[in-house]
Amino acid sequence: MRPIVISALLLVKVTLGNACASGQFTDSGQCCSLCPAGYGVQVECGKEDTKCAPCPQGTFSPSEGLDRCLQCGKCPSGLPTVATCSATHDTQCECDSGFFFLGSYGVCAPCSKCSHGEGVIRECGHEGDTLCQICGPGTFSEEQVSTKPCHTCTVCSDSEVEIRPCLPISDTLCMDRKLHILADDAPRLPGLEEVAEHAEVSPSPDSAEFTPQDDGGNNNILAYVSVLAAVVLGLIIYVAYKCWRSCKQKKALSKARAAELGTSPEGEKLQSDSGVFLDSYSLQDNQPSKGTRRDSKQDNRLYTNLPPHRQEEVESVLQEGSGRGWRHLGAALGYEPEQLDLFGRGEAPAHTLLSNWAQKEGSTLGLLCSALARIDRPDVVTALNGPSQGVSVV
């Protein structure tokens, strides 16, 4: 009979555990009472309920609980007393900035700081040490050592798409629905614009059969993963299109160069299949010309077909900041200040500017040299028209 009673009492404890503030029970299954602030435990809970008594002189209890009254602290010699000890508060001493009075040891201890993902809910001071709390929903703290409350999460605007939700350790990550790389005059692939503009994924009617309705967190995770997958797919399609377009331009340029040099179709095949690319501009440089001035046909060369090392040299000169740099060049090429500010956010604005300009129609070296002359940068013009390698192995 006794084991049955014990089992019944355990069952009652488990059932009522969430409703019992103290989390402890008497032998008969009654929830143990908590002693209020200013009171301490006189007789611990066991066969009978907790018995509490007011804290005597020189002791205190700051909050309700099942602990006995604590001994009041004393301010060290020479340390001013802000407030004397009471039944609910310990002695408060005037410590220096960045310290608080630790009554249990009678010393001024350095204030604690909140860690990554936590915010301050009570500043360090007369009431005690810093109190920290993990940032709740809608708040975050990216600081490794924080002395501030949690910040409110950023909400993406209608023109942006959320690619990473707000977490306790990081803010929301938003991205423009219309990527800047899609704003060029180049033709767009079908479906690419829809991926960028409509990156939000709506659940299909059949998805409810496989997603538990009582687990909202899983639904959010699936939605975020779907959005990220759509963005990545759009970028992959765009890169594939750019590669296809670049190959097409190179093929057309190769035919045009072969026609200018008078090469035969067999020569073109040799250039494309042998693994050796003959630089037609270098061949033209070696041909006799009138004076030292370059032929006008060379001024019609596209900047995108300039050798990579030459492009890097030009971009480096414009990036270094000596004299008029990439921003002045962008203005000379017709870019608005807002576009130049957008380029300036990246690590290599000169490369971004020239890469964007090279995708436009008529982006020839002649136009670029004219713009450089208008901003008084003959050194960059020299870098553009420097000698190039005759043969480059692909």
Q: What is the total residue count of the chain?
A: 394
Residue whose token pair is 């190769």: 254
Rounded to 5 degrees, φ, ψ at 283 are -65, -40
Pick the CATH number of 2-70 from 1.10.645.10, 2.10.50.10, 3.40.640.10, 1.10.1790.20: 2.10.50.10
Task: Answer whether 2-70 and 279-393 agree in fold.
Answer: no
Neighbours of 331 (CB within 10 A): 17
The span from the CA of 307 to the CA of 314, in Å, is 11
- Helix axis angle, 265-273 relative to 216-261, nearest 10°? 140
- Those residues of the chain that have pLDDT short of 50 are 14, 17, 181-187, 189-196, 198-214, 260, 262-298, 388-394
- pLDDT recorded at residue 77: 78
Distance between the two ends of the chain, CA-based, in angstroms? 91
CB within 8 Å of 298: residues ≥ 6 apart: 281, 284, 365
- What are the tokens at 187? 């033709």
pTM of the model: 0.35
The span from the CA of 334 to the CA of 13, in Å, is 78
Pick the CATH number of 279-393 from 1.10.533.10, 1.10.600.10, 3.40.190.10, 3.40.50.10320: 1.10.533.10
Tens of pLDDT, residue by residue over 207-223, are 444 444 445 556 678 88
Nearest to 317 by CA among 393, 389, 381: 381
Look at the alpha carbons of 363, 367, 368, 371 in this order and tell me if their dihedral is positive or negative. Answer: negative
Sketch the domain layout of the chain as residue ranges: 2-70, 81-151, 183-205+216-274, 279-393
Q: In what helix (H) or strand (E) does residue 173 lie, and over which residues does it extend?
A: strand 173-176
Rounded to 5 degrees, φ, ψ at 175 are -140, 145
Pick the CATH number of 81-151 from 3.50.90.10, 3.40.50.150, 2.120.10.70, 2.10.50.10: 2.10.50.10
- What are the tokens at 192? 């690419």
Tens of pLDDT, residue by residue over 65-105, are 989 999 888 888 778 888 889 999 888 888 888 888 887 77
Report yes or no: 71 and 89 within 8 Å, Cβ to Cβ.
no
Report yes or no: 89 and 72 within 8 Å, Cβ to Cβ.
no
Helix (H, G, I), strand (E, B) or coil at 169: coil
- pLDDT recorded at residue 18: 55
Type of residue found at 90: D
- pLDDT recorded at residue 211: 43
Query: In whole numbers, what is the pLDDT of the chain averaged over residues?
Result: 76
Residue whose token pair is 């007369």: 126
